[in-house]
Amino acid sequence: MEQTSNKKTIIKRFLPLIIVVITGLIIFSLMASRPIPPTKEQEEKAWAVSTEMATRVAVHPQLQLLGSVESPYTTQLSAAINADIISVPVREGEFVSKGDTLVELDETEARLNLQQKQADIIELEASIIAEKNRYRSDLAALKSEQSLLQIAKRSVERQRKLEKSNLTSQELIDNSSNKLELQALSVNSRQLSIADHTSRLNQLDAKLSRAKANVLNAELDLSRTLITAPYNGQITQVNVSPGGRVRPGEPIVELYDSSQIEVRAQIPDKSINLVRSSLKIGEPLKASISIYGEDVTLTLNRLSGKTNTGSGGVDGLFKATSENPPFIIGSSVKLTLDLPLLEKAITAPISAVYGTNRIYSIKDQRLVSVNASIIGAYFTNKGQQRLILDTPLSTGDSFITTQLPNAINGLKVTVRGANL
> What string of DSSP letters covers 264-316?
EEEEEGGGHHHHHHHHHTT-PPEEEEEETTEEEEEEEEEE-S---TT-SEEEE
Q: pLDDT tens across 106-165, in order?
A: 999 999 999 999 999 999 999 999 989 988 888 888 888 888 878 878 877 777 777 666
Give the Cα-Cα-Cα angle 295, 301, 304 (nearest 5 degrees). 120
pLDDT by residue (tens digit) across 48-101?
A: 999 999 989 999 899 999 999 999 899 999 999 999 999 999 999 999 999 999
- pLDDT-based confidence at residue 420 (cuts at 50, 70, 90): very low
Fill in the amino acid letter for 367: L
Judge whether 340 and 274 are in contact, CB under 8 Å. Answer: yes
User: What does the mean pLDDT of the chain come to?
Assistant: 86
> Is residue 211 within a helix (H) or strand (E), and if so which, with residue range?
helix 197-223
Burial state string for 28-54 with b = 16 or more CB within 10 A and e = fewer than 16: eeeeeeeeeeeeeeeeeeebebebbeb
Cα 265 from Cα 92, distance rounded (Å): 27
The predicted model scores a pTM of: 0.64
Instruction: Order the strands of the 95-96 sheet from edge to edge.
Output: 74-78, 251-257, 233-238, 95-96
The total of other beta-carbon atoms located within 10 Å of residue 236's CB is 18
Give CA angle at 119 (114, 121), nearest 5°.
100
Max intra-chain CA distance, the chain: 228
Cα(224)–Cα(219) distance, integer angstroms = 9
Domains and CATH numbers, the chain: 49-60+341-418 (2.40.420.20), 63-71+261-338 (2.40.30.170), 74-106+225-257 (2.40.50.100), 113-204 (no CATH)
**E strands, 74-223, in order:** 74-78, 83-87, 95-96, 101-105
| E-only strand ranges, 136-276 | 226-228, 233-238, 245-246, 251-257, 262-268
pLDDT tens by residue, 162-207? 766 676 667 776 777 788 788 788 888 888 888 888 898 999 999 9
Evaluate if residue 237 carries a pLDDT over 70: yes
Classify residue 352 by its DSSP letter.
G
Q: pLDDT by residue (tens digit) across 372-402? A: 998 889 888 887 889 999 999 888 888 999 9
Of 114, 152, 55, 140, nearest to 420 by C-alpha is 55
* DSSP letter string, 305-350: S---TT-SEEEEEEEESSSS-S--TT-EEEEEEEPSPEEEEEEEEG
Order the strands of the 366-371 sheet from edge to edge: 366-371, 358-363, 398-400, 47-53, 413-418
Nearest to 84 by CA among 64, 61, 103: 103
